[in-house]
Amino acid sequence: MIKQQMLACIFILAYCNTAVSQNQANQLTFNKSPTNFYQAKRILKEIYKNKTTTFYCGCKFYYQDNKLVLNHHSCGYQTRQNQERANRIEWEHIMPASYFGRKLDCWKQGGRKYCQKHSKAFRQMEADLHNLEPAIGEINGDRSNFAFAMVRGEYRHYGQCDIEIDFKHDRVEPKPSIRGNIARVYLYMAKKYSLTLSKQEHETFTKWAKRDPITRWERKKAALISNYQSGLTPVDLAQ
Asked if the model's pLDDT at residue 16 lies above 50, the reply is no
Q: What is the pTM of this model?
A: 0.85
What is the model's pLDDT at position 14?
46
Give the pLDDT confidence of 83-128 residue by residue, as tens digits.
Answer: 999 999 999 999 999 999 999 999 999 999 999 999 999 999 999 9
62 in Cβ contact with 115 (< 8 Å): no
Beta strands in the chain (DSSP E): 60-64, 67-71, 89-93, 132-136, 147-148, 164-166, 171-173
* pLDDT for position 26: 33
**Burial bucket for residue 142 (CB in 10 Å: 0-12, 13-18, 19+):** buried
Confidence class of residue 32 from pLDDT cuts 50, 70 and 90?
Answer: low
Question: Is 100 in contact with 195 (CB distance < 8 Å)?
Answer: yes
Give 197's pLDDT tier (boundaries 50, 70, 90): very high
Can you tell me whether residue 128 is helix, strand or coil?
coil
97 vs 122: CA distance, rounded Å? 8
Helix (H, G, I), strand (E, B) or coil at 22: helix
